[in-house]
Amino acid sequence: MSALGEHADVVSLVDHHVHGCWLDTADRAHFENALNEANTEPLASFDSGFDTQLGFAVRAHCAPVLGLERHAGADAYWQTRSGLDEIELAQRFLGAAHVSDWLVDTGFADGVAGLDELAGLGAGRVREVVRLEAVAEEAAAATGEYAAAFDEILWRRGRSAVGTKSVLAYRGGFVGDLSEPTADEVAVAAARWRDAGGTRLLDRVLLRFGLHRALRLGKPLQFHVGFGDRDCDLHAANPLHLLDFLRVSGETPVMLLHCYPYEREAGYLAQAFNNVYVDGGLSINYLGARSAPFIARLLEMAPFRKILYSSDGFGPAELHFLGARLWRNGIAAALQRFVDAGDWSEPDAIRVVDLIAHVNARRVYGLD
């Protein structure tokens, strides 16, 4: 193995966007469904979550962590996995990821570990990323003026958090006006939403309000971009529709997550705006053996100080580990080609690995 490959294999990571892992035992159907991100229904009876790039990657890379042979069969994998305690699984997989800092989006946490539980696994420091739409839903339930309640909650939670997160992609997408609404518009929209129950925020005025308050907070603002489940109109989650928003976003870092199949568009935005960053997030796990070319495309237009690592792991602890494993393999494969072609020096390649693995994240989230 080259010095580059060895370095990528062991470099410490900041996982700047992740969720909790399971702490309770799941059944096989639940596990296989957790290997499909896009579908919102149970997998068809003729299908298997194992017969996907992600499923093959689990069998290739996670099986050895459980003491199985690489490419263990699906049944053998499941038999071994289901014989282990979920917390034991979590400790093994999160520990094997070699992540120093987990920046945890707590906006969706049904059935997965909370911040303290994650910290208790002893697999790295844990910091929070606050979901803006959750703040809005808290503010809807609070008494008094909506905008003031939103601000109070955001500033209070933001004190200990390292950043904010928006799932605008799932709440109508990026197309249309994303300018800051007036105080009057916010008050009217909030009253209407509260009257309607104040659940699952879809009101564009209040979504826009939240984004602009997050800009004002100044901590990195993460956007779910592209690949996700089918509740999202994928084409409305093309980050180019954020252009007008980015043009007025000032200096607050904006982090474009996942990005598939718009990773080249996202990289362009990272070049176009001093405050825009990209990562491959969720997409890397789902691409499995095809993640290396994706990681290479992330290294096209995006400046190297503007690219980060995340796993977006949620649920099976395999995902928290596998994201790291695939990224290590993929970045090494991508950069080795550049070195072999004489386009990059190996020391430069190793330096870029460090930038993406942790240096950029430490700088932009102020982790030290």
Q: Which of 67, 250, 261, 366 binds a copy of itself (CB under 8 A)?
A: 261
CA 129 to chain centre: 11
Nearest distance from C-beta of residue 99 to a copy of itself, angstroms: 22
Tokens 């709440």 sit at which residue? 171
CB 288, CB 56: distance < 8 Å: yes
Closer CB to a copy of itself, residue 49 or residue 124? Answer: 49
How far is the C-alpha of 24 from the C-alpha of 32, rounded, in Å?
15
* Per-residue binder mask for a copy of itself (CB under 8 A), 332-361, x = binder: -x---xx--xxxxx--x---x--x------
- Three-state secondary-structure class, residue 112: strand
Closer CB to a copy of itself, residue 120 or residue 303? Answer: 303
Laid out side by side, the sheet with 13-18 consists of: 13-18, 99-105, 125-131, 161-166, 221-225, 254-258, 276-279, 307-308
CA 245 to chain centre: 21
Q: Does 156 bind a copy of itself (CB under 8 A)?
A: no
Closer CB to a copy of itself, residue 193 or residue 277? Answer: 277
> In terms of Cα–Cα distance, which of 301, 260, 265, 306 is closest to 281?
260
Q: Does 52 bind a copy of itself (CB under 8 A)?
A: yes
CB 40, CB 231: distance < 8 Å: yes
Nearest distance from C-beta of residue 161 to a copy of itself, angstroms: 22
Peptide bond preceding 64 in cis form (omega within 30 of 0): no
Nearest distance from C-beta of residue 197 to a copy of itself, angstroms: 24
User: Residue 350: which residues within 8 A CB-CB, separation 6 or more?
Assistant: 3, 4, 7
Closer CB to a copy of itself, residue 102 or residue 223? Answer: 223
List the structure tokens of 308: 């980060």
CB 21, CB 93: distance < 8 Å: yes
Q: Does 314 bind a copy of itself (CB under 8 A)?
A: no
Q: Does 60 bind a copy of itself (CB under 8 A)?
A: yes
Q: Does 329 bind a copy of itself (CB under 8 A)?
A: yes
Q: Does 306 bind a copy of itself (CB under 8 A)?
A: yes
How far is the C-alpha of 218 from the C-alpha of 213, rounded, in Å?
9
Q: Does 235 bind a copy of itself (CB under 8 A)?
A: yes
Q: Does 301 bind a copy of itself (CB under 8 A)?
A: yes
How far is the C-alpha of 134 from the C-alpha of 321, rounded, in Å?
27
Nearest distance from C-beta of residue 340 to a copy of itself, angstroms: 10
Site size toward a copy of itself (CB under 8 A) is 71
Q: Does 328 bind a copy of itself (CB under 8 A)?
A: no
How far is the C-alpha of 180 from the C-alpha of 205, rounded, in Å?
8
Nearest distance from C-beta of residue 353 to a copy of itself, angstroms: 13
Q: Which of 88, 247, 250, 366 binds a copy of itself (CB under 8 A)?
A: 247
* Residues 262-291, interacting with a copy of itself (CB under 8 A): 264-265, 268-269, 271-275, 286-290
How far is the C-alpha of 184 from the C-alpha of 149, rounded, in Å?
15
Please name the amino acid found at residue 198: G
Closer CB to a copy of itself, residue 222 or residue 249? Answer: 249
How far is the C-alpha of 31 from the C-alpha of 18, rounded, in Å?
18
Q: Does 10 bind a copy of itself (CB under 8 A)?
A: no
Nearest distance from C-beta of residue 300 to a copy of itself, angstroms: 5
Q: Does 296 bind a copy of itself (CB under 8 A)?
A: yes
* Residues 67-86, interacting with a copy of itself (CB under 8 A): 70-71
Closer CB to a copy of itself, residue 88 or residue 229? Answer: 229
Nearest distance from C-beta of residue 268 to a copy of itself, angstroms: 6
Q: 130 φ, ψ to 5°? A: -90, 130
Q: Does 44 bind a copy of itself (CB under 8 A)?
A: yes
